[in-house]
């Protein structure tokens, strides 16, 4: 069955337009709360958010929805998405909610849900919640309405948990690190954690005003980070997205390091220490063939999942893997958490730098990526991928790339975009194939 409201990462859209309205948030709170009312205990939900202006509106509506069906609410304020996952489990809550549109601009917002185990919900749970959204709410009697409270130490709890993932025998003394927090959820916790571990920290993107999240900063726009690294003579740059569940790393020369290179580093390093589980790494269909060939050379496998960090995690759990992620920078390390965590992944990279005593530019370029090109085509309604002209262009592209290349065409699960990705040995050919398919999609 097709989901109506949920995409690859919760419910997301432009604020004050369906499905991202206060009314919808109220219904989500009522539906998700009713779905997780199981057993006779007092039920609890943890609600966090990023720094976008609409977070206050969405938080208030969700709290009203949850309390109206008898669930107590703990509000933790602006914290990273992985902090909500961690707090949901540690506080023995029945449900966790993160209000965030991740890497999107402030005009968008979203609702991500976590189960009592700290994992994102399954497709089945989301379908059941969607059915409840479109049904009359199960309101409780006046005396059973839930209570709401705000806790102030959530950020401190998360900082402590993150530092526990860094090897106890190591320190970051002598390392200059630039951290770009995207004016988002990690604007306080990320610089603090790095400083407490001994790094000399230059923090940018740490002045949120509700409107500037992901604006000319963060993992989607690293120009400022690259300039700051070179100007400061820093050893490493870290760019988080708005809810800090993913990162992009920049070396001391200003070169960008994507999630594929990070997975190569962490996977191979953990393998040499006997800490890697599953005999390989889980990535998505978007990860570069160069990563797959590198892992094969290390005697490891690359398992590919659908795009979306929760699908990566599902494959990891099924196959017993403990390292996985996406090229975009979602890195999931199940020894340390239940979802992608940009700060935890960054600390693993810094630990490897300390242990190796080598600059990032040497340590983080483990393989030569094959020429790969991704372009997005925005569409307004309709089903362009069903057009015969588009199907013909895709078939012709696959033929031209041959056995040594790959073509991945998909509809975005978070935005009205068709994503067209090709890779192969011939960079010019890759470009031609992508542009031909993009033009067919635009015309359709």
- Give the least confident one: 79-93, 131-145, 157-171, 367-381: 367-381
d(CA 113, CA 278): 27
pLDDT, mean of residues 404-415: 84
pLDDT band at 444 (very low <50, low <70, confident <90, very high): confident
pLDDT band at 294 (very low <50, low <70, confident <90, very high): very high
Same fold, 11-152 and 257-343: yes
Domain 257-343, CATH homologous superfamily name and number: Alpha-D-Glucose-1,6-Bisphosphate, subunit A, domain 3 (3.40.120.10)
Report pLDDT for 403. Answer: 86
Q: Across the chain, what does the average pLDDT equal?
A: 95
Report pLDDT for 51. Answer: 98
- Give the least confident one: 44-58, 191-205, 377-391, 429-443: 377-391
Residue-wise pLDDT tens digits, 75-128: 999 999 999 999 999 999 999 999 999 999 999 999 999 999 999 998 899 999
Tokens of 310: 């929760």
pLDDT, mean of residues 32-42: 93
Catalytic choice (100, 102, 268, 287) = 102
Q: CATH assignment of 11-152, given 3.30.1490.190, 3.30.1490.20, 3.40.120.10, 3.30.360.10? A: 3.40.120.10
Is 68 tagged catalytic?
A: no
Handedness of CA 307, 310, 313, 318 (dihedral sign): negative
Residue 336 has pLDDT above 90, yes or no: yes
- The CA-atom distances, in angstroms, between 185 and each of 103, 284, 381 are 11, 26, 32
Residues 46, 50, 56: CA angle, nearest 5 degrees: 75
Beta strands of 128-170 (E only): which ranges?
A: 148-150
Yes or no: say if 434 and 373 are a contact pair by the CB < 8 Å rule.
Answer: yes
Radius of gyration of the chain (CA): 22
Q: Where are the alpha helices (DSSP H) in 197-331?
A: 223-232, 259-272, 289-297, 309-319
Yes or no: say if 236 and 250 are a contact pair by the CB < 8 Å rule.
Answer: yes
Domain 372-443, CATH homologous superfamily name and number: Alpha-D-phosphohexomutase, C-terminal domain (3.30.310.50)
Yes or no: say if 203 and 191 are a contact pair by the CB < 8 Å rule.
Answer: yes
Q: How is the chain split into domains, by residue range?
A: 11-152, 175-244, 257-343, 372-443
Residue 1 has pLDDT above 60, yes or no: no
Tokens of 375: 């372009």
pLDDT, mean of residues 183-202: 98
Report pLDDT for 387. Answer: 87
pLDDT, mean of residues 274-300: 96
pLDDT, mean of residues 209-219: 97
Residue-wise pLDDT tens digits, 376-390: 998 887 788 988 999
Residue 442 is given by DSSP the state H
Supply the pTM of this predicted model.
0.90
pLDDT, mean of residues 277-287: 96
Contacts of residue 256, defined as CB under 8 A and 6 or more positions apart, other chains included, come to: 222, 226, 248, 249, 250
pLDDT band at 416 (very low <50, low <70, confident <90, very high): confident
**Domain covering 175-244, topology:** Alpha-D-Glucose-1,6-Bisphosphate; Chain A, domain 3 (3.40.120)
Residue 412 has pLDDT above 60, yes or no: yes
Residues facing 410 on adjacent strands: 419
Q: Is the peptide bond before 386 cis (omega within 30 degrees of 0)?
A: no
- Give the least confident one: 199-203, 229-233, 379-383: 379-383
């Amino acid at each position: 069955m097709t989901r109506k409201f949920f995409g690859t990462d919760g419910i997301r859209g432009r604020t004050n337009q369906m499905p991202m309205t206060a009314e919808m948030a109220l219904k989500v709170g009522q539906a998700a709360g009713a779905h997780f009312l199981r057993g006779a205990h007092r039920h609890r939900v943890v609600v966090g958010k990023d720094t976008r202006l609409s977070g206050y509106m969405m938080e208030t509506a969700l709290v009203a929805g949850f309390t109206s069906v008898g669930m107590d609410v703990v509000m933790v304020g602006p914290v990273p998405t992985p902090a909500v996952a961690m707090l949901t489990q540690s506080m023995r809550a029945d449900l966790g909610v993160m209000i965030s549109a991740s890497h999107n601009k402030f005009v968008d917002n979203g609702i991500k849900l976590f189960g009592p185990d700290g994992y994102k919900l399954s497709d089945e749970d989301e379908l059941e919640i969607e059915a409840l959204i479109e049904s009359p709410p199960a309101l409780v009697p006046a005396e059973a309405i839930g209570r709401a409270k705000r806790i102030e130490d959530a950020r401190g709890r998360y900082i402590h948990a993150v530092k526990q993932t860094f090897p106890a025998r190591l320190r970051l003394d002598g390392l200059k690190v630039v951290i770009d927090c995207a004016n988002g959820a990690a604007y306080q916790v990320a610089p603090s954690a790095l400083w407490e571990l001994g790094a000399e920290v230059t923090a940018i993107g740490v002045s949120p005003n509700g409107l500037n999240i992901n604006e000319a900063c963060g993992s989607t726009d690293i120009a400022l980070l690259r300039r700051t690294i070179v100007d400061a003579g820093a050893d490493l740059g870290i760019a988080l997205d708005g809810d800090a569940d993913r990162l992009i790393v920049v070396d001391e020369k200003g070169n960008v390091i994507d999630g594929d290179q990070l997975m190569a580093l962490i996977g191979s390093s953990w393998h040499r220490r006997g800490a890697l589980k599953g005999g390989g790494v889980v990535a998505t269909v978007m990860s570069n063939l160069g990563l797959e060939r590198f892992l094969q050379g290390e005697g490891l496998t690359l398992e590919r999942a659908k795009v979306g960090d929760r699908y990566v995690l599902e494959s990891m759990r099924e196959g017993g893997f403990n390292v996985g992620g996406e090229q975009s920078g979602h890195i999931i390390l199940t020894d340390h958490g239940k979802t992608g965590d940009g700060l935890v992944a960054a600390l693993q990279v810094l630990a490897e730098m300390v242990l190796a005593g080598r600059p990032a530019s040497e340590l983080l370029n483990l393989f030569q990526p094959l020429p790969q090109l991704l372009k997005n085509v925005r569409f307004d309604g309709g089903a362009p991928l069903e057009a015969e002209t588009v199907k013909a262009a895709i078939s012709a592209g696959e033929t031209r790339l041959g056995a040594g290349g790959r073509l991945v065409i998909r509809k975005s699960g978070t935005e009205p975009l068709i994503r067209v990705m090709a890779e192969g040995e011939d960079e010019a050919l890759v470009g031609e194939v992508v542009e031909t398919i993009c033009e067919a999609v635009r015309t359709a």
